[in-house]
Amino acid sequence: MIRSAAINNLPVLMDIEHRCFLRDQFSEALYTGFLLRPDCEVYLYHLAGKQPIGSMVLLFPAEMAACHVISVAVLPEHQGHGFGQELMAWAEARALAKQCRQLQLEVRRNNRRARAIYEALDYKRIRVLKDYYGKGVDGILYIKSLPECPAL
C-alpha cells in the first residue's frame, strides 16, 4: 500500500534513505523541504501490517507539464519483488491525475538494475549527464511520454 508521508514520517524516510543509498544520500533538511513544498509529494510503501519498505519523492514544477521523479527507494531486502515497479506505476498515475505530459528522472549511469527497470517501463534514454553525481560519476536522463488526458 502506498501512502502519503508527513513530517512525522521523517525518521522512517531517513532510515530508508540511509539503507538504500550508500552515496548521495538526501539530508534530513532536504527531505523536510520536500515534505513542506506544495509542488512535491512524498510517499511511503507499506506491506500489510509492517514498517514501510520503500519511499518515493515526486516533484510537479509549475513551469513544466512534467512529473520529476526525484527518488525511488526500496529496502535492499525487498528488492527484486516488483515493489519498485509498483512505485513507478503510482508515479505515472499521479502524473496523469495532474495532467502531466511526461515523467522524467535521472539515474546513475552504472545503476544497471534501475536502468533496466526504467527501460522496461518505456522510459527513453535522452542523454548522459556528465559528472551529475560528482566528478567522474555520470547520470542518465530518462523521459517517459504520457498519453494526453482529455480536457475536463
pLDDT tens digits for range 75-111: 999 998 999 999 999 999 999 999 899 999 999 999 9
pLDDT tens digits for range 43-77: 999 988 788 999 999 999 887 789 999 999 999 99
Q: What is the DSSP string of 6-74?
A: -GGGHHHHHHHHHHH-SSSPPPHHHHHHHHH-TTEEEEEEE-TTS-EEEEEEEE--TT-SEEEEEEEEE
Angstrom distances, CA of residue 54 to CA of 65, 113, 136, 148: 26, 16, 28, 29
- Phi/psi for 121 (5° steps) reads -95, 15
